[in-house]
Each structure stands twice: as structure tokens, then as C-alpha cells.
């Protein structure tokens, strides 16, 4: 049985690169910057204690949609996710921004689901275009069309999602400028204590430090400020120089076994 995405899917091209996995921590911090989404998808579900488990779980379902050749398997996996979301119900415990105390939330709220999907898509595209290759308007439209397939499987309707990439960018830019994204104290703890200090063996600490710099540098400026994360011109130059080196000299000559994830190598 054919899968949901074609062999030449732009989403496959993007998430098939190992380096795009580095977008995960940024995506988590983007998600957590929406105070109601934070309550529903992190605090309520217990993901606050181990957000990387949530990220790995989401990534495994995304891989099944992107690379699987059995739609029924993807349908079963996403049905389980939708059932979990449907059970998430609650009210916020504090007033944050325009959201008063007691604001109701639910895991299948289209507004919150869209922000989760958008955080993944925006972060993946940012890392891919910065470190791997550019994407023209046609490719970006095709990529967002693929993400809309993912959104539908997670419970969003077509009318819940931007129609094309330009509309998607308008949505993300509008939300960033709206004032709705407010980093709470608990979300700030998530950034500092968990996302930026994940459990890792001593030998991996230099890699963690590198990923942290990338995560901090690629966050929108206002969210970086709200999270209390330091940034300066020297770090900016280092980030940009590293991106140019990777894009022009490193990744183009890297063997597929190092550059691509398993499903991408097999395809």
C-alpha cells in the first residue's frame, strides 16, 4: 500500500537530513512559549519532566507518516495520538498575558495543535535552509502541503491551517508579534534546566554546548529575551560562520551514511 507522501516529497528531503534533528530543542521552546499550549501539552501531560520523550514520540509518528508505505499503520499511530489529545482537558492556573486565570484548554484545540505543528515546521525549515540548502517558493509551498497532510492526521481540518507557505509565514509572524507568546516561569525552567541541560554523558557535553548555541541563536529575538538566554555579536558571528562552513564545505561532501537518517538512505 502506498504511503501518505511521495518519494520526491519535500518533507522527506528536509527531515531526511541528520542535521535537521538539531531543530528539535528550538521547536520545544517555540511550543512552550504559548502559555496555554504549555499547560496543555507539557504541564498537564507530564512532558514537563521529560520533554525529549515527547519530542521523540512525535518524531517517530512523523517518520511513520513521511517514510512509511502503509497508510493503515500511520492511521493507527495518529489515532492513538488524537485519543491522547482528546483526554487532555483543564484550566490555566495563573493569568498570563491576555489569558486570564482559569482559561480552558484542551489537547485537541485546533489553535493549539496548529502552533505545535508550526513550531516543528518553522524550526525544521530554518535549520535546513541555514545548514543544508535553500528552498524556493515552489518547494516551500510543497513542503507546507506535506505538513498539512501531517496536520490532518493529527486532527486539524484544512480550514484550520494556512493554505500555503506565504499564509503560513504570515501566521507565524503574526503570532510572534501578537503578544500571545509569553514565557512563564515554568517554561523558563524547562529551557534552562531541561532543554539546555539534557542528561548526557561527559563525552557528549561539547556537542550539547554546540546544540545549545544553535538553539539559542535561532530563537526569535523576543522569545530568547523572555527565556532569559544570553546572546551577543560574537556568538552571532560564530553561528553564521559555522552555518556557511556546513552549507558550503561540510555537508555537500559528507557521505550519505553520515548525512542522512536511515529511512532517507534506504529511499
Taking a C-beta distance cutoff of 8 angstroms, is the pair 111, 174 a contact?
A: no
> Residue 5's Cα: distance from chain center in Å?
19
Residue 195 per-residue DSSP state: I
- Nearest C-alpha neighbor of 85 from the set 108, 105, 104: 108
Name residues whose C-beta falls within 8 Å of residue 232's C-beta, 6 or more positions apart in sequence. Answer: none
Alpha carbons 217 and 211: distance in angstroms, whole number = 10
Specify the DSSP element, H or E, that contains 89: strand 89-91
Residue 94 per-residue DSSP state: S
Taking a C-beta distance cutoff of 8 angstroms, is the pair 82, 75 a contact?
A: no
> What was the pLDDT predicted at 23?
94
- Nearest C-alpha neighbor of 121 from the set 206, 37, 48, 31: 31
Mean pLDDT by 10 residues, the chain (267 residues): 87 96 93 92 68 81 91 94 91 91 94 96 97 97 98 97 98 96 92 78 77 93 95 93 91 89 85
If 0-12 CB within 10 Å is exposed, 13-18 middle and 19+ buried, where does residue 42 land? buried
225 phi/psi in degrees, rounded to 5: -65, -45
- Nearest C-alpha neighbor of 30 from the set 223, 249, 237: 223
> What was the pLDDT predicted at 128?
97
Alpha carbons 75 and 161: distance in angstroms, whole number = 20
Taking a C-beta distance cutoff of 8 angstroms, is the pair 241, 222 a contact?
A: no
Amino acid at each position: 500500500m502506498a504511503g501518505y507522501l511521495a518519494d520526491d516529497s519535500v518533507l522527506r528531503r528536509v527531515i531526511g537530513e541528520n542535521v535537521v534533528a538539531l531543530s528539535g530543542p528550538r521547536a520545544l521552546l517555540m511550543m512552550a512559549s504559548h502559555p496555554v499550549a504549555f499547560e496543555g501539552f507539557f504541564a498537564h501531560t507530564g512532558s514537563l519532566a521529560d520533554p525529549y520523550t515527547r519530542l521523540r514520540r512525535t518524531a517517530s509518528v512523523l517518520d511513520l507518516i513521511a517514510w512509511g508505505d502503509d497508510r493503515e499503520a500511520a492511521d493507527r499511530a495518529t489515532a492513538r495520538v488524537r485519543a491522547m489529545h482528546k483526554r487532555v482537558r483543564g484550566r490555566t492556573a495563573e493569568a498570563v498575558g491576555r489569558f486570564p486565570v482559569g482559561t480552558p484548554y484542551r489537547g485537541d484545540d485546533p489553535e493549539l495543535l496548529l502552533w505545535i505543528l508550526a513550531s516543528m515546521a518553522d524550526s525544521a525549515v530554518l535549520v535546513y535552509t541555514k545548514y543544508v540548502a535553500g528552498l524556493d517558493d515552489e518547494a516551500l509551498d510543497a513542503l507546507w502541503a506535506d505538513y498539512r497532510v501531517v496536520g490532518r492526521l493529527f486532527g486539524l481540518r484544512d480550514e484550520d491551517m494556512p493554505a500555503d507557505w506565504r499564509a503560513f509565514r504570515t501566521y507565524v509572524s503574526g503570532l510572534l508579534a501578537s503578544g500571545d507568546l509569553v514565557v512563564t516561569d515554568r517554561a523558563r525552567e524547562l529551557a534552562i534546566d531541561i532543554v539546555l541541560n539534557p542528561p548526557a554523558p561527559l563525552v557528549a557535553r561539547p556537542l550539547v554546548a554546540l546544540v545549545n548555541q544553535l538553539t539559542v541563536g535561532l530563537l526569535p529575538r523576543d522569545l530568547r529575551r523572555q527565556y532569559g538566554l544570553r546572546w551577543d555579536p560574537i556568538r552571532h558571528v560564530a553561528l553564521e560562520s559555522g552555518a556557511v562552513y556546513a552549507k558550503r564545505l561540510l555537508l555537500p561532501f559528507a557521505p550519505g551514511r553520515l548525512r542522512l537518517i536511515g529511512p532517507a538512505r534506504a529511499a
